[in-house]
Structures are given as C-alpha cells and as structure tokens.
Amino acid sequence: MDLHYTAEQHAFRAEVRAWMQAHVPREALPDYDTFEGFQAHRAWEKTLNSAGYAGITWPEALGGRGASLIEWLIFEEEYWAADAPLRLNQNGIFLLGPTLMEYGTPEQKARFLPRMAACDDMWAQAWSEPGAGSDMAAVRCTAERDGDHYVLNGQKTWSTRARWADWVFGLFRTEAGSQRHHGLSYLLVPLDTPGVTLRPIRQLNGLAGFAEIFFDNVRVPADCLLGGEGEGWHVAMATAGFERGLLLRSPARYQQTAKRLLALYLANREAADRDPSIRDAVIRAVSGAEAYTLSTYRTVSMLAKGSKIGPESSTNKIFWSELDLLLHDTALRILGSRAELDTPEAKRWMEGFMFAQAGPIYAGSNEIQRNIVAERMLGMPR
C-alpha cells in the first residue's frame, strides 16, 4: 500500500484547511439538541453546502463536489482538526444519502439529495421499536397499500434527531403475516403528515436527542418507497453498512480525541503515572485511533477497486464504539475529581464520556454485532 498522498490530494487538503480557517465559528455553537443550537447548526450545514462540502462525495449535480473517498478522509481530518461543529444532518447525509444513491430512482435523487445537502430537509432514522431493540427484523409497524398511498400504523422509538427533523426513514411491514426480514419495505415519511405524533426522549445530559414516533393511519405517497416493495431489508442493510462500516464515524474523530487525551496525560503525567494502568490505557487508546485510521484507508482502497462493505462492518462498529469508551474513560481517570468541575475542558470530556456510553448500543448493539461476526464471518453455528 502506498501511504503517500498525491500532489492533487495535498492541494485539496490545503484548500480545505484554508476554507475551515476562514469559516469555522470562533466560538462553539450551542448544543444541537436545543432549539437554538439546532438553528445554529442548520445554518452551519448551509455554509458547508455553499462550498460543496456537505455531501462532499456526491455528484455536483446533486449538491456535492464529486470528491473521492480518499478526499473525504482528508476533508474529515481537516474538519476535526479545525474543531468544526458536529454535523446536524448526519443521519441524512452519511446514511440515507448513500442509500439513495444506490437504490433511489432518478426522481427521488433529484427530489431529496440537494435539499438534504442544504439541510433544507433534516432527517431522522426510525429503526427501533418497543420490544424489538437492535433486532431490526422484529419490527411490527405496518404500512398497508391503499391506492397510491401507504397507510402507516405503529410506533418507533429511539429515533435519533427526530425532535427537530422534517423527514424520517425506516422499515415498515408491508406484507400482512410476514415474519422476520421478509415482507418489509423502506419508506421515507414527512413528519408533518397528519397522524404523526412525536414524543421527545431525554438522554443522560438532560436534552432530548431522541424521540418516540407514533403513526396513526398516516398516509404516505407510494413514491416515498425506496427500493421495491418487500425489499426493505436489503435496502436497510445497505444503510446499516454505511452506518457501521465507514461514513458515520470517520477516523479523524478519534485521532483528534486521542491527541487531546495524550496532551491531557502529558500535562498531568506525574499524578497519572502513580497508576501504571492509566499510561497503558493512553497507549492503547492512541494506538487504537491510528489502527482505526489505517483500517479505514484500507477499506476505502478496497471500495475504490470495486469491493463492497460486507459483514466486516460489524467488526468496525465494535472497534470504534469501544475505542470511544476507552478514550473518554481514560481522560476521566486522569482528571479524577476535577472531571466534575464546571470548566470547558472538564465539561467537554464529561459530555463525551456520557455520549460514548451509547456507542455500544446505537447502530446495532455490540452483542448483535458479535453474533454477526461469529455467524457470517467465522461460520459458527447460530
């Protein structure tokens, strides 16, 4: 593997770095799970889109700039190095967007992707249901065909970013009496449709980053079906592959956190070294961030040669979610009781620690991912 960048890639990095220096807000935006923060982050997404950076790998005609995946990795490295705001519409841009590219009709791509890139439409995801959890094949929400509409009934829970979203994508059972992954369809639902009720769910930090969604005879046009009727499982697995395998969590996120952790350790080394396990944890965390980076570059190289992301995306998801826990847990061990102080550094590490607790659960719980690794990669019995 050639780990050197081309002259064109170096030039692209310089371009992105200069743009970030000129446009990244000097002060942190309010949390995007507040209304004020949601509006501020939405405005930032529009700023990104003005330079073609929102959906950077998308075709220019659909709101992107046609960048390669290597250029996407370079962009992410500069984005996180600039301490730019967290991405508000990541469910749309990183998960649904690539799925639309693969399964959407030309009309659907033209209708949804440019508005998604501009954050004119904010997207949430609707996978989980009460009693289903991470088992996506256990969904019970129904979508019954009625002429040129589907009529939706049921409940979704833990719908990320749904409180402020305009649309939601999710799985619905379109074949009566079907079981497991059969008879499911993938639908795009406007959340202002009559019969939709949202109920916010508060998370560890007290803010409502999730919501329950109730569907009561909600009529959705049939042209909001993505893929064929009954093919929802295959479409959803493509979305899950993007979520677990590549786009949702770029390695730059963990590289920058590892750099902050190393700086924190060095600034507190005398006290931290009283517990040798802290030094070992720092080494494992920094090494893990670099290993994840190299693994991602390998995945991107394979995709560039025509390969597809398969069940190995589950190993990826397990790794980055547990790496995030290690990074933040180690930081809090270094800070000790100072982690409770109301200082910018302590608050940032504490908020990151609380968010990291969700990593082994969202995008499919790690227990489920280990089952997938065992059965589909290692050939072990169920």
The catalytic residue positions are 243
Contacts 24+ apart (CB under 8 A), 61-64: 62/109, 62/110, 62/113, 62/114, 62/117, 63/113, 63/114, 63/116, 63/117, 63/118, 64/117
Residue in the block written with tokens 């639908």: 187
Other CB atoms within 10 A of residue 380 CB: 10
How far apart, in whole angstroms, are the C-alpha atoms of residue 144 and residue 175?
8
3-state secondary structure of 307: coil
Please state the separation of Cα 34 from the chain's center in Å.
19
Helices 313-335 & 276-304, crossing angle to 10 degrees?
A: 150
Run of H or E including 198: strand 196-201
How far apart, in whole angstroms, are the C-alpha atoms of residue 49 and residue 43?
10
**CA dihedral of residues 353, 357, 359, 360 (deg, nearest 10):** 140
In 3D space, the residue among 108, 97, 105, 156 whose CA is nearest the CA of residue 128 turns out to be: 156
Close Cβ partners of 266 (under 8 Å, ≥ 6 residues apart): none
In 3D space, the residue among 137, 123, 128, 91 whose CA is nearest the CA of residue 212 turns out to be: 128
**CA dihedral of residues 312, 380, 234, 75 (deg, nearest 10):** -10
In single-letter form, the type of residue at position 187 comes to L
3-state secondary structure of 125: strand
Residue 274 β-bridge partners: none
How far apart, in whole angstroms, are the C-alpha atoms of residue 46 and residue 38?
12
